[in-house]
Chains A and B, each alone.
Chain A
């Protein structure tokens, strides 16, 4: 089955700097990818998604990059703010979007 892993359990970033959170997946047939943000005591919130026919997608201050060759995706947050402090995890969908596997999460700590 699919396995999804994050490279770092914790990432500390200075306020104003850019943050990069990584996710690796194992199934080359995976076709849809989502990044979620989870603040303490709350449910995960959708940030951005990307389909397998794309390499890059941008949102407001966030960019997701997908490298299908090495089965890796990343979430870039520009000008990181204290409100960005949360756990971020990826979700990988396959099997015609019927099978979803969630990563374990990277805790982003923003240093004022």
Chain B
């Protein structure tokens, strides 16, 4: 996906361990988002950022934290992974000019 890279693409981790997912953009967009995608649910917003060090919670933020120290990087951290956090995580960017979102390729996270 143009301009957005997520890493890792796949990860298996154990319950209770911390996990950090990375989203990197090359297009200098102000708005960045983390969503999770689960069967039977639409994409649900975890956290978002509207600038460096400016972040806010989404609808499913419990158990997650984020950081944005540079415009291009938005990190999602699971402080202590639980099985309920097994999901596919998508990062997205949005321009100031329009309201369509551009999504990364996703990170499939499995917590065992």
Cβ contact within 8 Å between B99 and A32 = yes
Q: How far is the CB of A85 from chain B (nearest CB, A)?
A: 18
Chain B residues with Cβ below 8 Å from A100 are 45, 101
State which residues 1-53 of B face A: CB under 8 Å.
1, 4, 40-45
Category for how many chain A residues contact B? 20 to 34
Whether A43 contacts B103 by the Cβ 8 Å rule is: yes
Q: Tell me if B102 counts as interface (CB < 8 A to partner A).
A: yes
A sample of 23 cross-chain residue pairs with beta-carbon separation below 8 angstroms, ordered by A number, consists of A4-B42, A32-B99, A34-B99, A34-B100, A34-B101, A42-B1, A43-B4, A43-B103, A43-B105, A43-B106, A44-B103, A46-B101, A49-B98, A49-B99, A89-B42, A91-B101, A97-B99, A100-B45, A101-B42, A102-B42, A103-B42, A104-B41, A105-B42
